[in-house]
Structures are given as C-alpha cells and as structure tokens.
Amino acid sequence: MNDRTRFVITACERLHRMSEVEMCEHKGMGHPDSLCDGVAEAVSLALNRAYLQAYGRIQHYNVDKALLIGGQSQPHFGGGQVLTPMRLILCGRASSLPDAGLAESVHAAARRYLSENLRCDPALFGIECAVRSGSPNLQQAFVRGMSHALANDTSFGVGFAPYSPLEKQVLLLGTLLHSAEFQARFPAAGDDYKVMGVRVGDRMTFTVALALIDREIHHAAEYFAVKQSITEHLRATLASPCNLAVNTLDDTNAIGVDGIYLTVTGLSAEQGDDGQVGRGNRMNGLITPCRSMSLEAVAGKNPVSHVGKLYNALAWEVARAIVAEVEGVEEATVQLLSRIGQPVDRPALVAVELGCRTPLSAAMRQAVQNLAYAHLSDIERTTARLVRGDLPAF
C-alpha cells in the first residue's frame, strides 16, 4: 500500500454475537444457485489451467454469469421421470484459446463438474456456452497489468471472523447433509438442500428444505417416516436449546406425490426452481444479512485482477489473521475498496471494524495495520491459491 490508500480502524465492545436477533442461510451443493456458482467456478479453474499451459500466464476473462433454467418432471413413488431437461447457460468474457478451444473447454469443465458433484445423470442438463471476447479497454488494462495487476472494477470485498455460534450450526448442518455418511444412511436424501437459521436471544431455530428422491420412497407414509428419521438425526447433532423442522411446506394429509417435496433427481431444478450465479453463499459458505457482506459473485471471476473475487478472499484472510494474532480482539470485519485501473495491492480504502475485550490501544491498532499491509504486499499468494482452487468460491 502507499499514501493513496486510506486506512480506517474502528472498535467497539458490543460484538455481533451479542445482538438480540441473528439469521443466516446456507445453500447446498445441489441448490440451483449453488449449481450455477459451482459450474462457473469450475470453468474458471479450467481456464486458469488452459491459459497457463497455452500462454504461460492467465489471460483476461470473467465467466461469472450463468443461468440454470429448470426443467419439467413427473415424480412418482418408486421412480418417476424427467420430461424436459434442465438448461444451463454459461455467459461471460474470455480471451481465446489455441485451436478455437474455448467453447470446448467451457463445455467439458461444466459437464465434469456436474458428473463429479451430483448423483443424477448429468445428461439431464443441456449446456450452452455463450462466452464471448472481452471489451478492448478491459483487455488492454489486463495487458498493462502484466507486471503489476490492475483492478478491473471499482468494487469492494468483505470478510469477517470468527463465525458466530448460529453460523457454525448452520454450516454443521450443511456439511452433514452433504456427507457420504448421511447419504448412505438416508439414500432418499437428494443433493438439493437449504438451511435457514435464526437466533432470538439464545434460542436457535433451523428450517431445512431437502429434496427427497422418489425411487427410494414407495408411498406417502414412507415419505413422512423418512422425513421424521432425518429430522431426528439432524436435531441430535445440534446444540440446545433449538428447534428444527424439515420440509415445512409438506401437506401432512397428502396421500400422493402432490403436496410433498418429492423429486426424480434430488434437485428442485428439475421442476421447482431456477438458479443464477451470485445468489447463493458467499466465500464463507453462508448468506449473512446481519453482517457486512459483498453482493459480488466470487465464482467465475478472474483471480488476478477482478477484485470481486480477490478482495473478498483477501478480506476473509485478513479478518481471520487479526482475530488469531492480535491480543484483545475477539471479532473483526474487513472491507477493501478498489479503484478501477489501480494496482490491486493498493486499495483505495481498507476499513476494519473490531470487537475488542479491552479498549483499542495504539499497539493493537498498529498490529492490525501491519497484518493488512503484510497480506496486501503478498497478494500474489492469495491469487495463486485462487488459481489452484484452494479457496472456496461459495
């Protein structure tokens, strides 16, 4: 950083976890929005590898737009059918690859991601590549930044640490629902799930939406029995006091497939929902309306110059380092603001909000500033981790 970077540190005694009301959400791997994020990031990682192999360095690209158009299905106890396949449109801007291999790379990365992360047939997705070349001024800015990466947008990234107890519980449920052990125990559980958590005072309530697979269930009574077993299993993993409910839209009087969350594929996208990049989890795996957060979609963005990806990752790393290394700090929120065309290691603003056990001292302030300086001066390390996929995008 230099003297053009403004650094602001504020502190208070009242921490986030002391607020009376808190809510947060996690969208699972098979949620339509998460599928869009996952495929966009898979394409991004594939382009990183292809550009490095072809040119020795990453080229200008951003493939952070995707739309999942849901299909039509006919669930049936014991197994139904998908009538109209789902349609996935991938859109963005990217530099060309040798032998006109751009579209092929996009298709292959998307298909591979669906195959590796879903249990349904990936052929149920039609994939359309609408990736085009970028605007000349952005491509030129990328070239100018060959020796020193330049921000390709005026935007901001946000990170906080640590997770609150509610956030930890929501992530715990999300991890459990995605685990191989859970899927083996409950083969009717699909890949599409969502967890909403709310805390009022010290009381937590969790609502889970979980698609169930029709071929594993043979009548309505079995559906409700499976749902009850899943509910009890999930509830047993949570700290008390709390409430937990699964598939609350279900009609308890249903005798057929209408009125219950039964699917052919284990995905709501087969008929019930559509998806877009950026509407799901942030990099920390959560949607946190009670926290400072960026609305930038991280998935699919260029890890070299797009601050919508780079600054969200960096802010997250800095916040965790502050809490871990600065004595007296219990919570940190970090915001990094870029200015288009300026070096990415010289943000226009670094704003840090601290929750402290003790009054903020000059030594604490200096330690926080030193950590931010250190991470920004080594920003290429964060870029390298993003290039390899070592940091999550959603």
Quick one: three-class SS letters along the chain? CCCCCEEEEEEECCCHHHCCEEEEEEECCCCHHHHHHHHHHHHHHHHHHHHHHHHCCCCCEEEEEEEEECCEEECCCCCCEEEECEEEEEEEEECCCHHHCHHHHHHHHHHHHHHHHCCCCHHHEEEEEEEECCCHHHHHHHHHCCCCCECCCCCEEEEEECCCHHHHHHHHHHHHHHCHHHHHHCCCEEEEEEEEEEEECCEEEEEEEEEEEHHHCCCHHHHHHHHHHHHHHHHHCCCCCEEEEECCCCCCCCCCCCCCCEECCCCHHHCCCCEECCCCCCCCCCECCCCCCCCCCCCCCCCCCCHHHHHHHHHHHHHHHHHHHCCCEEEEEEEEECCCCCECCCCCEEEEEEEECCCCCHHHHHHHHHHHHHHHHCHHHHHHHHHHCCCCCC
What does the chain come to in residues? Answer: 394
Q: Output the average pLDDT for the chain.
A: 93
Q: How many distinct structural domains can be found in the chain?
A: 1
Crossing angle for the helix pair 379-388 and 307-325, nearest 10 degrees? 110
Q: pLDDT at position 240, please?
A: 76
Q: pLDDT at position 325, please?
A: 97
In a domain, 121, yes or no: no
Q: pLDDT at position 274, please?
A: 97
Distance between CA atoms of residues 363 and 326, nearest Å: 9
In a domain, 366, yes or no: no
Q: pLDDT at position 144, please?
A: 61
Q: Looking up tokens 């396949």, which residue turns up?
A: 85
The model's pLDDT over 35-84, given as tens digits with 9 standing for 90+, comes to 999 999 999 999 999 999 999 999 999 999 999 999 999 999 999 999 99
Q: pLDDT at position 142, please?
A: 65
In a domain, 62, yes or no: no
Judged by phi (left if over 0) then psi (alpha if -120 to 50, else beta), residue 115 lies in alpha
Q: How far is CA 394 from CA 175, 298, 309, 321, in A?
A: 13, 7, 11, 20
CB 25 within 8 A of CB 74: no
CB 38 within 8 A of CB 29: yes
φ, ψ at 75 (rounded to 5°): -65, 150
- Domain with 254, as residue range(s), is 165-276
Q: pLDDT at position 251, please?
A: 96
Distance between CA atoms of residues 347 and 321, nearest Å: 19
Distance between CA atoms of residues 307 and 155, nearest Å: 7
Q: pLDDT at position 223, please?
A: 98
Number of neighbours of residue 331 by Cβ within 10 angstroms: 22
In a domain, 236, yes or no: yes
In a domain, 298, yes or no: no
Q: pLDDT at position 138, please?
A: 62
Q: Which regions of the chain are under pLDDT 50?
A: none
Q: Judging by beta carbons within 10 Å of its beta carbon (0-12, 13-18, 19+), is residue 62 exposed, middle or buried?
A: buried
In a domain, 173, yes or no: yes
In a domain, 203, yes or no: yes
pTM: 0.93
CB 23 within 8 A of CB 164: no
Per-residue tokens: 314: 């960096």
In a domain, 238, yes or no: yes
The model's pLDDT over 169-215, given as tens digits with 9 standing for 90+, comes to 999 999 999 999 999 999 999 999 999 999 999 899 999 999 999 99
Per-residue tokens: 18: 């002391």
Nearest alpha carbon to residue 298 among 33, 95, 5 = 33
Q: pLDDT at position 197, please?
A: 97
Distance between CA atoms of residues 291 and 303, nearest Å: 24
- CATH number for the domain including 171? 3.30.300.340
CB 126 within 8 A of CB 86: yes
